Amino acid sequence: MIYDSQYNRLALLGSEVRGVSLFDTTLRDGEQTPGIALSAEDKMRIASALNDLGVDIIEAGFAASGDSEKDTIKQIAKMGLSSTVCSLARSNKNDIDRVLDCDVDYVHTFIATSDIHLKYKLKMTRDEVKAKAVEAIEYAKSHGLKVQFSCEDATRTDLDFLKEMHVTVQEAGADAINIPDTVGVIYPSAMTYLIKELAKVTEVPMAVHCHNDMGLAVANSLAAVAAGAKQIHVCVNGLGERTGNAALEEVALGLYANFDTEVVDLSKIGDISKTVSRITGWPIPYNKPITGRNAFAHESGIHVHGVLNNASTYEAFRPELVGMDRHIVLGKHSGTHSVKDRLNALKIKFPDECIPKLLAKIKDLAVSGKEVDDAELMAIADHIMWKRIGEDAVKLKEFAVFTGKGVTPTATVTVDIDGEIRTSSNTGTGPVDAAIKAIRCAVNEKITLEEYKLSAITGGSDSLCEVTVVIKGTYDDSRLSVGKAVGLDIVGTSVDATMEAINRDYIRGRKE
């Protein structure tokens, strides 16, 4: 179910879309992303995931680019996938021969047709380009290959010449013709116009290959489909030359949302996006549509309240549709609803009167750039409930620690004990040791540290840490007192835990 805009339906009335498929070029154009290089094993894993997802064609590489590329395409062709495996080739017999060596049944061959490319790259005339295209297609067809032909830089090619190319290549036997927006410059309504013009002379199915230089690759691809194109070239996570190609996830969802057509198994989209990100080492931007970390994350109080009542308030589609999860993020904009919802979900019984304290701690952490995850929320909530014992008798007024390489860690603290101000300094084997010793000097020299435990709550280097200290001797007796604290920095959190243990003992002393 998509909670989309009713205006889409109105605007798209009459554009009936049937038989659309995806041509995935993650392993070819996607691998051309500057900084990405895939091994044969990497490519086979991605090919297998694309096959499970249900893409129609997998462009596995560019056979003429080298022997190892050729071997990899051959290995992918041997995997027995349901998707058709294809290789790219320039429009010449040598490149087509390299494709034939790979034992694939399908070739995607191309030659540039824009005047810019003819003049500055190919240094060929239009007639020469046409002849090369025909020669390559006829050669590929005579060797039993299915052929998809592309006029590279089609969207900057003179329309009459582009039409002439379409007529010529389909007469030569092309099974499909692709229209590349090679430098990502066309605008969606111009794409509609172009496809409709080309449809006047094109009998074979048309595909589009849109680059994202102006951020319009997905919009242009969907506009092409509405105008009659039957296939869309895509890359997982929008990989591809420069700023990439149309993102598979976004195109697939756009087709489902606007044209009721499910071209791949949508529920596998989250997984394939993560798999490709892991294999390529290319992170998924947090704000990437469909599969970014924030695609179904809600933080602000108003939004969370809405989503908890009914997700359609702030989600156009459910995360499950695309194999993702919703998560409520606790941070600077969180409100009581979000916090209570998380506490309930974690089955933590937390007193209502302490919620403001919990929110204040979350916001405090958020100001230092930290979102609070479930494990951290549990630790903070635990800490607040545990601490509900009364006013601190010993207050930490100031604290400084000096440490570094080749210097003795030294700490200075100033405490206020029931109105009496005391300052002390001490050194230690490390900054935590120095800080705890300085506190002991200021409060009571006889305090001994019986136990110290430090744990990181989650794995990251920005994780919260939890410190537990057990001390003895605040009142010159043998009773133990425990203090716990949660925070971002180890030394500060250790100091907080020590102060807490001291205060617990002071409170006990006052009660006795």
Q: Where do contacts with ligand KIV occur on this chain (CB under 6 A)?
A: 29, 88, 110, 150, 152, 180, 182, 209, 211
Nearest distance from C-beta of residue 241 to ligand KIV, angstroms: 6
**In terms of DSSP bridges, do strands 84-90 and 297-298 run parallel, antiparallel, or are they unpaired?**
unpaired
Written as one letter, the residue type at 309 is: N
Q: Cβ closer to Zn ion: 245 or 334?
A: 245
Q: Cβ closer to ligand KIV: 233 or 370?
A: 233
Find the helix or strand (DSSP H, E) in which 413 lies: strand 410-417
Q: Which does 220 bind (CB under 5 to 8 A by kind): ligand KIV, Zn ion, none?
A: none
Strand partners, 467: 454, 485
Instruction: Please tell me the count of residues contacting Zn ion according to CB under 5 A.
Output: 1
What is the number of other CB atoms lying within 10 angstroms of the CB of residue 14?
6
Nearest distance from C-beta of residue 220 to ligand KIV, angstroms: 12
Q: Which does 110 bind (CB under 5 to 8 A by kind): ligand KIV, Zn ion, none?
A: ligand KIV
Q: Which does 275 bind (CB under 5 to 8 A by kind): Zn ion, ligand KIV, none?
A: none
Is residue 29 a contact residue for Zn ion (CB under 5 A)?
yes
Q: Which does 231 bind (CB under 5 to 8 A by kind): ligand KIV, Zn ion, none?
A: none
d(Cα 433, Cα 56) in Å, to the nearest integer? 63
Is residue 376 a contact residue for Zn ion (CB under 5 A)?
no
Q: Cβ closer to ligand KIV: 208 or 223?
A: 208
Q: Which residues contact 335 (CB under 8 A, 6 or more apart)?
A: 300, 301, 302, 304, 305, 359
Q: Cβ closer to ligand KIV: 132 or 318?
A: 132
DSSP 49-118: HHHHHT-SEEEEEEGGG-HHHHHHHHHHHTT--SSEEEEEEESSHHHHHHHHHTT-SEEEEEEE-SHHHI
| 29-37, 286-294, 390-398, 472-480 -> range binding Zn ion (CB under 5 A) | 29-37
Q: Cβ closer to ligand KIV: 209 or 288?
A: 209
- Contact of 3 with 316, CB cutoff 8 Å: yes
- Contact of 36 with 280, CB cutoff 8 Å: yes
Q: Which does 150 bind (CB under 5 to 8 A by kind): Zn ion, ligand KIV, none?
A: ligand KIV
Which three-class secondary structure state does DSSP give residue 372?
Answer: strand
Spell out the alpha helix ranges (H) of 346-484.
355-367, 374-387, 431-443
What is the number of other CB atoms lying within 10 angstroms of the CB of residue 174?
26
Nearest distance from C-beta of residue 367 to ligand KIV, angstroms: 45
Q: Which does 152 bind (CB under 5 to 8 A by kind): Zn ion, ligand KIV, none?
A: ligand KIV
Nearest distance from C-beta of residue 32 to ligand KIV, angstroms: 8
Q: Cβ closer to Zn ion: 169 or 246?
A: 246
Q: Cβ closer to Zn ion: 29 or 466?
A: 29
Nearest distance from C-beta of residue 193 to ligand KIV, angstroms: 19
Q: Cβ closer to ligand KIV: 152 or 299?
A: 152
- Closest-CA residue to 306 (of 324, 332, 331, 328): 328
Which three-class secondary structure state does DSSP give residue 310?
Answer: coil
With b for 16 or more beta-carbon neighbours within 10 A and e for fewer, the 97-131 pattern comes to ebbbbbebebbbbbbbbbeebbeeebebeeeebbe
Q: Print the binding letters for residues 210-249 with Zn ion: x by CB under 5 A, - otherwise.
A: ----------------------------------------
Is residue 153 a contact residue for Zn ion (CB under 5 A)?
no
Backbone region of residue 460 per phi and psi (left: phi > 0; alpha: psi in -120 to 50; beta: other values)? beta
Is residue 31 a contact residue for Zn ion (CB under 5 A)?
no
Q: Print the binding letters for residues 156-195 with Zn ion: x by CB under 5 A, - otherwise.
A: ----------------------------------------
Nearest distance from C-beta of residue 232 to Zn ion, angstroms: 13
Measured at the alpha carbon of residue 169, what is the angle toward residues 164 and 170, in degrees to the nearest 5? 100
Nearest distance from C-beta of residue 293 to ligand KIV, angstroms: 29
What residue ranges bind Zn ion (CB under 5 A)?
A: 29
